[in-house]
Amino acid sequence: MGAGLPGGEGRALEGAGMEPAQLGRYVIQSELGRGAMGVVYKALDSVLERPVAVKTVNISLEREHADKYEERFYQEARAAGGLNHPNIVTIHDVGKAGDVVFMAMEYIEGVELRTLIGEGRPLRVAQALSIAAQVAEGLAYAHQRGVVHRDIKPANIMVVANGPVKITDFGIARMRGTGDLTQTGMLLGSPKYMSPEQVIGKRADQRSDIFSLGVILYEMLCGAAPFNGENVTALMYQIVNFVPPAPSSVNDAVPQLADYIIAKMLAKPLEERYPDAAEVARDLRDCERQLAGSTGDPQSTRPPAVPATTPPQPKLVDSTHKTAVLGQAVARTREADRVAEEAAPAPARGLAASFDSAEATQRLASLTGVAAPQTATQAIKSIPRPPSGRWRRRDWLIVAGAAVCGLVAVHAILRRGR
């Protein structure tokens, strides 16, 4: 149930070997998933006799940064432990056993959203809207209490068959008023679901979570992520510079209202994005109701198959939006985040290189206010003339010199005549 860890009940621990058979009061029963820094187990709370999920981190694997990892682990517990919402996983306890710190949380009988969309086929539109709306409601609750998740992705969303969707893993969450364990400029989060401001190193706020949720909703509706670079660098370039096609152009079952909602969630400039997740949830619920009213039964909405050979092709973003995103400060402090940002200046407007003819250039110049290139004759005529007025001293000296030269020439001619 952690970042990069598969969900679902796993294998039982047979002869646990180096694996702990018990952590505090929690008796380990089976392994749910494994990551680079630790393991998630299904365990039994021996006091309350209830199943729990126990997330562990072996801090001995990083001895040089053990204190930092341990503090970040406790930060996750504080971030999620103070949240009590149906769409957020409940934290029961946190502790330490030797070099292993652990967190006991609600055990969820469900699957990761990553598993549901991993086959490259879209979900039913009604189901996708419902999942996204529940995640938005959970995020709105967290944001209102000063907690930003910063790593919203399908692996951190649990879907229960007959229960609420749950957000898990607040491991890199930021809380207002806490120590700056996640410094500005550090690349934290999953690249595929990062917001443009996270890509360029700006501190993430609640609008970054909204962008990430927009990417997930797009993927649920279209069967493919809106940004698909061949490598991490290409992917990040697309996130900042490209706009994906409307979901309804990929999946005919997607209503037009969903296009507008996703476009606002994926807006590059922060000021054009949804300001809070509660507004996202309201719009998604409205879209659900409209869809149910138009079909009579939202469960009957069947998405068409999306050919694997024709993924959505993103297009270059408008230059104004690109400038607004890239113009955001990279080196920022926590105090600077509280100061309202000034609007980014409008980008310079110039002549496009694709305009070859003189007529097209003149028309573009008249529209943009940029002077068109001049011919040689026009350039000569445009040379400023000296202003008319009284003679300057230099003018008098030139005339006097010319007069003297004339007198000398006349005198020389007269002498030859004699």
In terms of pLDDT, which residue wins out, 144 or 7? Answer: 144
User: What secondary structure does DSSP assign to 249-304, as a single string?
Assistant: HH-TTS-HHHHHHHHHHT-SSGGGS-S-HHHHHHHHHHHHHHHHHHHS-GGG--PP
pLDDT in tens, 114-129: 999 987 889 999 999 9
**Is residue 95 domain-shared with residue 145, that is, in the same domain?**
no
CA 353 to chain CA centroid, Å, is: 31
**Is residue 191 domain-shared with residue 277, that is, in the same domain?**
yes
Out of 76, 106, 136, a domain closes at: 106
Average pLDDT over residues 59-85: 76
Active-site annotation holder among 151, 169, 209, 283: 151
Cβ(104)–Cβ(53) below 8 Å? yes
Cβ(54)–Cβ(104) below 8 Å? yes
**Lowest-confidence segment of 39-43, 51-55, 79-83, 170-174 by average pLDDT:** 170-174
pLDDT value for 111: 92
Confirm whether 209 is a catalytic residue. Answer: no
pLDDT in tens, 273-310: 999 999 999 999 999 999 998 766 544 444 444 444 45
For residue 154, pLDDT over 90 is answered with yes
CATH code, domain with 91:
3.30.200.20
Residue 411 lies in a domain: no
**Is residue 139 domain-shared with residue 81, that is, in the same domain?**
no
pLDDT value for 414: 83
In terms of pLDDT, which residue wins out, 245 or 331? Answer: 245
**Is residue 148 domain-shared with residue 284, that is, in the same domain?**
yes
**Is residue 90 domain-shared with residue 119, that is, in the same domain?**
no
pLDDT in tens, 6-42: 344 455 554 444 455 889 999 999 998 886 667 899 9
pLDDT in tens, 312-326: 566 666 555 555 555
**Is residue 72 domain-shared with residue 210, that is, in the same domain?**
no
For residue 372, pLDDT over 60 is answered with no
**Is residue 185 domain-shared with residue 280, that is, in the same domain?**
yes
Task: Give the HSE-up count for residue 48: Cα atoms under 13 Å, Cβ half-sphere.
Answer: 10
pLDDT band at 388 (very low <50, low <70, confident <90, very high): low
Residue 353 lies in a domain: no
pLDDT value for 181: 41
**Is residue 169 domain-shared with residue 43, that is, in the same domain?**
no
Residue 118 lies in a domain: yes
**Is residue 75 domain-shared with residue 133, that is, in the same domain?**
no
Location of structure tokens 């005198």: 411
**Is residue 149 domain-shared with residue 260, that is, in the same domain?**
yes
Range of the domain at 32: 22-106
**Is residue 70 domain-shared with residue 133, that is, in the same domain?**
no
For residues 313 and 335, what is the distance between their CA atoms, to the nearest angstrom? 39
In terms of pLDDT, which residue wins out, 172 or 409? Answer: 409
Q: What is the DSSP letter of 166?
A: E
CATH code, domain with 187:
1.10.510.10
Domains of the chain: total? 2
Average pLDDT, the chain: 76
Cβ(51)–Cβ(31) below 8 Å? no
Angle between helices 125-144 and 206-222 (to 10 degrees): 170
